[in-house]
Amino acid sequence: MRIDVITVLPELLESPLSHSIMKRAQSKGLLQVHTHNLRQWAVNEYGQVDDYQYGGGAGMVMMCEPLANAIEHLQKERKYDEIIYLTPDGNTLNQKTANQLSLLENILLICGHYKGIDERIREHYITREISIGDYVLSGGELAAAVLVDAIGRLLPGVLNDETSALTDSFQDNLLSPPVYTRPADFKGWKVPDILLSGDLKKIDEWRHEQALQRTEQRRPDLLDREL
């Protein structure tokens, strides 16, 4: 999979995508992430990519021309399955969306900044809009890093044990059950006996029960979605 990212601050994406699982995904050649500084397509020698909004009001708006030129330049090199704009008023990212996007080959991400991007870019180029939550960030770069991570870890071969992703929270509209590791007794706090029994069928049943209980207690809305 290849993910291209158009941004005014490519440096913000360097660290999140250069370590741990994302580093492994790229080192294995399973994921390519390329950042493109929007200022390459600035409207003047000063690197301008934003301007005051029509109608007045606080906050600058990212201009049509640089964004359109950047998108069209990249489209000449490859066809994108999705052109995604990271924005607070997009559809909230969830595991189902991450699963769907992980099956694609080429994705282009647009990171907003300032007050956002000119609406005409959204109308004519963007195929999908995604939010990572009901709050506002300074720009779309951190949201893009979250999306790349959520997608990248699902690619076959990225995780050492691919079944690990299948048991993550939200994969089946349930939260994950409690997990334990050594020692079996710490300060008198003991691991549930069932996990030490070696009976895999009963362990699976216990985990499913625990996942249901935890979801009912903490995120009952997930169970409502399943009905």
For residues 122 and 180, state if they share a domain: no
- Do the domain assignments include residue 159? no
For residues 175 and 144, state if they share a domain: no
Is residue 65 within 8 Å of 43, Cβ to Cβ? yes
User: How many separate domains does the chain show?
Assistant: 2
Concatenated DSSP letters for 85-134? EEEEEEEEP-HHHHHHHTT-SEEEEEE-BTT-B-HHHHHHT-SEEEESSS
H helix runs in the chain, sequence order: 11-14, 20-27, 64-77, 95-101, 119-124, 141-152, 163-166, 200-218, 220-226
Q: How is residue 176 annotated by DSSP?
A: P
For residues 35 and 143, state if they share a domain: yes
Angstrom distance (rounded) from CA 79 to CA 2: 11
- Do the domain assignments include residue 91? yes
For residues 43 and 97, state if they share a domain: yes
Q: Which residue has the tokens 């080959």?
A: 105
For residues 123 and 178, state if they share a domain: no
For residues 117 and 217, state if they share a domain: no
Q: What local confidence, expressed as pLDDT, does residue 161 receive?
A: 65
Q: What local confidence, expressed as pLDDT, does residue 166 receive?
A: 60
- Do the domain assignments include residue 111? yes
pLDDT per residue as tens, the chain (227 positions) = 999 999 999 999 999 999 999 999 999 999 999 999 999 999 999 999 999 999 999 999 999 999 999 999 999 999 999 999 999 999 999 999 999 999 999 999 999 988 999 999 999 999 999 999 999 999 999 999 999 999 999 999 998 765 566 666 677 889 999 999 999 999 999 999 999 999 999 999 999 999 999 999 999 999 987 54
Classify 147 as helix, strand or coil: helix
| Host domain of residue 105 | 2-152
